[in-house]
Chains A and B, each alone.
Chain A
Amino acid sequence: MTWEPVIGLEIHVQLKTRTKMFCRCAAGFGAGENTQTCPVCLGFPGALPVANRTAVEWTIRLGLALGCEIAERAVFSRKNYFYPDLPKGYQISQYDLPSCIDGKMILPTSEGDRVIGIVRAHLEEDAAKTVHVGGRTGRIGGADYSLVDYNRGGTPLVEIVTAPDVRSAEEAKRFLQLLRQTIVELGISDAEMEKGTLRVDANVSVRPQSSDELRTRTELKNMNSFNFVARGIEAEVERQVAVWESGGEVKQETFDFDAATGALTPRRAKEEADDYRYFPEPDLVPVEPPAELVERLRTELPELPAARIRRIERKLDLERATVLVTGGLDALWEQTVAVGAERVAAANVIANNVVGAGVAPAAVPARELARLVEARERLPRAAFDEAIAKLADPGFSADPYLAQEAVSDTDELEPIVARVLEANPGHVEAYRGGKEGLLGFFVGQVMKETQGKANARVVSELVRAKLSA
Chain B
Amino acid sequence: MAAVVDTLRLTAEEAAGLLERGELSPAELRGAYLEAIAERDGELHCFLRTVEETEGDGVPIALKDVISTKGVETTAGSRILSGYVPVFDATVAGRVKKAGLSLLGKTNTDEFAMGSSTENSAWGPSRNPWDPERVPGGSGGGSAAAVTAGLAPWALGSDTGGSIKQPSALCGNVGLRPTYGSVSRYGVVAFASSLDQIGPVAKTVRDVALLYSIVSGRDPNDSTTAELPEPVRLPEGESLAGLRIGVPTELNEAEGIEPGVGEAVRRALELVTGLGAEVEECSLPRSVRYGLACYYLIAPAEASSNLARYDGVRYGPRAEATSYQELVDRTRDEGFGDEPKRRIMLGTYALSAGYYDAFYGQAQKVRTLIIEEHREALSRFDVLVSPTSPTVAFRVGERAADPLAMYASDLLTIPSCLAGLPGLSIPCGLSEGLPVGLQLIGPQFGENLLFRVGHALERALAFDTVPERWR
Interface of A toward B, CB cutoff 8 Å: 39, 42-51, 78, 80, 82-84, 87-90, 140-141, 146, 148, 273, 275, 277-279, 282-285
A48 touches B308 (CB 8 A): no
Q: Is B405 an interface residue (CB 8 A)?
A: no
A46 touches B305 (CB 8 A): no
Provide a sorted-by-A list of 9 A–B residue pairs whose CB atoms are within 8 angstroms: A39-B88, A46-B66, A49-B223, A78-B305, A88-B309, A90-B308, A283-B224, A284-B223, A285-B223
A residues within 8 A CB of B325?
82
A residues within 8 A CB of B185?
46, 48, 283
A residues within 8 A CB of B192?
282
B193 touches A45 (CB 8 A): no
Q: Is B414 an interface residue (CB 8 A)?
A: no
Knowing that A39-B87, A50-B223, A78-B305 are A-B contacts, what are 9 other residue pairs whose CB atoms are under 8 Å apart, sorted by A's residue number? Answer: A44-B314, A45-B86, A46-B185, A48-B185, A48-B223, A80-B351, A277-B304, A278-B351, A285-B223
A84 touches B308 (CB 8 A): no
A279 touches B305 (CB 8 A): yes
B74 touches A45 (CB 8 A): yes
A residues within 8 A CB of B302?
279, 282
Contacts A45-B190, A48-B223, A282-B193; A275 near B309 (Cβ below 8 A): no
B308 touches A47 (CB 8 A): no
The one of A45, A51, A146, A277 that contacts B309, using a Cβ cutoff of 8 Å: A45
A275 touches B360 (CB 8 A): no
A45 to B84, CA, bound (A): 10
The one of B76, B301, B305 that contacts A45, using a Cβ cutoff of 8 Å: B76
B86 touches A275 (CB 8 A): no
Min CB–CB distance B274 → chain A (angstroms): 43
A82 touches B308 (CB 8 A): yes
Min CB–CB distance A86 → chain B (angstroms): 9
A residues within 8 A CB of B290?
none
Contacts A84-B313, A146-B324, A282-B302; A47 near B187 (Cβ below 8 A): yes
Min CB–CB distance A280 → chain B (angstroms): 9
* Interface core residue of B189, B223, B304 (most chain A CB under 10 Å): B223
Q: Is B251 an interface residue (CB 8 A)?
A: no
A43 touches B309 (CB 8 A): yes
Interface residues of B in 187-206 (CB under 8 A from A): 187-190, 192-194
B residues within 8 A CB of A141?
323
Contacts A39-B88, A80-B308, A282-B194; A44 near B315 (Cβ below 8 A): yes
A residues within 8 A CB of B360?
279
Interface residues of B in 287-320 (CB under 8 A from A): 301-302, 304-305, 307-309, 311, 313-315
* Interface core residue of A47, A83, A140, A277 (most chain B CB under 10 Å): A277
Q: Is B81 an interface residue (CB 8 A)?
A: yes
A51 to B223, CA, bound (A): 8
Q: Is B368 an interface residue (CB 8 A)?
A: no
Interface of B toward A, CB cutoff 8 Å: 66-68, 74, 76, 81, 84, 86-88, 90, 185-190, 192-194, 220-224, 301-302, 304-305, 307-309, 311, 313-315, 323-325, 328, 348, 351-353, 356, 360
Closest B residue, CB atoms, query A83: B324
A275 to B68, CA, bound (A): 32
Min CB–CB distance B300 → chain A (angstroms): 12
B324 touches A46 (CB 8 A): no
B221 touches A48 (CB 8 A): yes
The one of A39, A88, A285 that contacts B224, using a Cβ cutoff of 8 Å: A285
A46 to B222, CA, bound (A): 10
The one of A49, A50, A80, A273 that contacts B305, using a Cβ cutoff of 8 Å: A80
Contacts A89-B309, A277-B351, A282-B194; A44 near B86 (Cβ below 8 A): yes
B residues within 8 A CB of A82?
308, 311, 325, 328
Min CB–CB distance B258 → chain A (angstroms): 35
A48 touches B305 (CB 8 A): no
Q: What 5 A-B pairs are tightest by C-beta distance, nearest first?
A: A89-B308, A277-B351, A282-B193, A282-B194, A46-B187
Main secondary structure of the interface of A (DSSP, over half): loop
B residues within 8 A CB of A83?
324
A87 touches B309 (CB 8 A): yes
A residues within 8 A CB of B194?
282
A284 to B223, CA, bound (A): 6
A residues within 8 A CB of B87?
39, 44
B residues within 8 A CB of A42?
314
Contacts A39-B88, A45-B81, A146-B324; A90 near B223 (Cβ below 8 A): no
Min CB–CB distance B249 → chain A (angstroms): 32
Closest A residue, CB atoms, query B193: A282
B residues within 8 A CB of A283?
185, 190, 193, 222-224
B223 touches A46 (CB 8 A): no
B328 touches A46 (CB 8 A): no
B305 touches A90 (CB 8 A): yes
A residues within 8 A CB of B221?
48, 50
A residues within 8 A CB of B311?
82, 84, 89
A45 to B111, CA, bound (A): 14
B residues within 8 A CB of A275?
352-353
The one of A51, A89, A140, A279 that contacts B301, using a Cβ cutoff of 8 Å: A279
B residues within 8 A CB of A80?
304-305, 308, 351
A46 touches B189 (CB 8 A): yes
Min CB–CB distance B464 → chain A (angstroms): 37
A277 touches B305 (CB 8 A): yes
The one of A49, A84, A279, A284 that contacts B324, using a Cβ cutoff of 8 Å: A84
B313 touches A46 (CB 8 A): no
Min CB–CB distance B368 → chain A (angstroms): 13
A45 touches B68 (CB 8 A): yes
B residues within 8 A CB of A50?
220-223
A residues within 8 A CB of B223?
48-51, 283-285
B residues within 8 A CB of A90?
305, 308
Min CB–CB distance B441 → chain A (angstroms): 22
A47 to B302, CA, bound (A): 15
Closest B residue, CB atoms, query A274: B353
Min CB–CB distance A112 → chain B (angstroms): 43
Contacts A45-B84, A277-B352; A88 near B324 (Cβ below 8 A): no
Contacts A45-B84, A48-B221; A279 near B351 (Cβ below 8 A): yes
A371 to B269, CA, bound (A): 96
A89 to B307, CA, bound (A): 8
B305 touches A89 (CB 8 A): yes
Min CB–CB distance A139 → chain B (angstroms): 11
Min CB–CB distance B417 → chain A (angstroms): 14
A residues within 8 A CB of B222?
48, 50, 283
Min CB–CB distance A74 → chain B (angstroms): 14
Closest B residue, CB atoms, query A142: B323
Min CB–CB distance A81 → chain B (angstroms): 8
B193 touches A148 (CB 8 A): no
Contacts A90-B305, A140-B324, A282-B194; A45 near B189 (Cβ below 8 A): yes
Min CB–CB distance A350 → chain B (angstroms): 48
B residues within 8 A CB of A89?
305, 307-309, 311
* Interface core residue of A87, A141, A283 (most chain B CB under 10 Å): A283
Closest A residue, CB atoms, query B324: A140
Closest B residue, CB atoms, query A43: B309
Min CB–CB distance A454 → chain B (angstroms): 71
B305 touches A47 (CB 8 A): no
Contacts A46-B188, A46-B190, A146-B324; A88 near B308 (Cβ below 8 A): yes
Min CB–CB distance A129 → chain B (angstroms): 14
A87 to B328, CA, bound (A): 12
* Interface core residue of B192, B193, B309 (most chain A CB under 10 Å): B309
Min CB–CB distance B31 → chain A (angstroms): 31
Closest A residue, CB atoms, query B66: A46
Min CB–CB distance A226 → chain B (angstroms): 34
B residues within 8 A CB of A88?
308-309
A275 to B350, CA, bound (A): 12
* Interface core residue of B188, B311, B315, B328 (most chain A CB under 10 Å): B311
A141 to B326, CA, bound (A): 11
A88 to B193, CA, bound (A): 14
Min CB–CB distance B377 → chain A (angstroms): 25
